[in-house]
Amino acid sequence: MTDKTMRYSDQERDTLRNAAMGAMMLVSKSDPGIMGTIKEMFAGSKALKSASPDMQEIFKGSGGMPKMPKGSSADMESGVMSMLQQSQQILSKNPQDLQNFRNTIMSACDQVAKAQGGVSDNEMSMINKIRSSLGA
């Protein structure tokens, strides 16, 4: 872990990681299909590698699967949007990290949507909700 990523607590790093993975999941789930989901998650993961080295370290986490909100689709969406908003507050300590996070998440969501035959209306709607939650 670098000195820069140490400025965030374990809980904050988990929130950032879970928000990133959750945003990609929401876009993928908005246009379902098992083969598409696999392609989409690979595309999103590849996009996360374009983040700054410090953000990449946060996205990798300490191992294990990210924790996603449980419940109905609406509950999951609400939980992820809340994590995205919390991420803004966490990253407000460092505007450079905040902008990198926003850009990376939006790029990843865009790549997820494009991975399986173009961007559907449902995917675009979800991307717009994510953009709004990120204040982007």
**pLDDT tens across the length of the chain (136 residues):** 555 556 889 899 999 999 999 999 999 888 766 656 677 777 788 888 888 888 888 888 776 677 878 888 899 999 999 999 999 999 998 889 999 999 999 999 998 888 877 788 899 999 999 999 998 7
Query: Percentage of residues in the chain with pLDDT exceeding 90?
Result: 41
Question: Does 126 map to a domain?
Answer: yes
Q: In this structure, are residues 19 and 27 in contact, taking their beta carbons and an 8 Å threshold?
A: no
> Domain containing 90: what range?
9-59+73-134
Measured between alpha carbons, how far is 104 from 52 in angstroms, rounded to an integer?
A: 9
- Report helix, strand and coil shares of the chain as percent, to nearest 5: 75, 0, 25
Question: Does 68 map to a domain?
Answer: no
Q: In this structure, are residues 114 and 42 in contact, taking their beta carbons and an 8 Å threshold?
A: no
Domain count within the chain: 1
Residue 107 exposed, middle or buried by CB count within 10 Å (0-12, 13-18, 19+):
middle
